[in-house]
Amino acid sequence: MNEFVLVGLVGCGKKKLETEEPVPAGELYTGSLFRSTMHFAAQHCQRVFIVSAQYGLLDPAQPVLPYEKKITDLCKGERKAWAITVVRSLYDEMDGQFGHNGDPLFRTIILAGAAYADLLHEELRWNRVPSCRPMRGLGQGQRMRWLSQCKNASKK
């Protein structure tokens, strides 16, 4: 049976470090939801990326500057193009993680709000990349509680 790499796709955050110099993407976002989500992804996934309306797919170590762009700032066509670009970037990052039939040997867990997660899930499905959205339908406070429950359960 094939071993699959689990890839966490973490949604960026509104609260950002105030800086005029590029900082690693994993340090740019300062909100508690982002921090908790990154912690969860680091504990459960072999690879973790951040998804950003401005930058697309980000390695947490990639230096970036603060910005104010949200996925909801984009029109429908731009959002579709964004999702295509993110999934293509993911394929590039996961080069070599494909079976003999061309199917990806990685799975994704989308840890982002609905505006990002719905776009990504659809595009990943179209590209035959299995994905799950464990926080689907949860508001921000509910996502924080879910992450807290997961953290507490893993301590037992």
Domain locations along the chain? 5-155
Asked if the 5-155 domain carries CATH number 1.10.3470, the reply is: no
- pLDDT for 97 equals 76
pLDDT band at 1 (very low <50, low <70, confident <90, very high): very low
Q: Could you read off the pLDDT of 106-145 as tens digits, one per residue?
A: 999 999 999 999 999 999 999 989 999 999 988 888 998 9
- pLDDT for 10 equals 98
- pLDDT for 154 equals 65
Residue 156 has pLDDT above 60, yes or no: no
| DSSP annotation string for the chain | ----EEEEEEE--S-B---SS-EEHHHHB--HHHHHHHHHHHHH-SEEEEEETTTEEE-TTSEE------GGGS-HHHHHHHHHHHHHHHHHHTTT-B-TTS-BSEEEEEES-HHHHHHHHHHHHHTT--EE-TTTT--HHHHHHHHHHHHHHHH-
Residue 71 has pLDDT above 90, yes or no: yes
- pLDDT for 150 equals 84
- pLDDT for 45 equals 95
Q: Cβ(105)–Cβ(98) under 8 Å?
A: yes
Average pLDDT over residues 7-36: 96
What gap in Å lies between CA 129 and CA 106, rounded to an integer? 7
pTM: 0.91
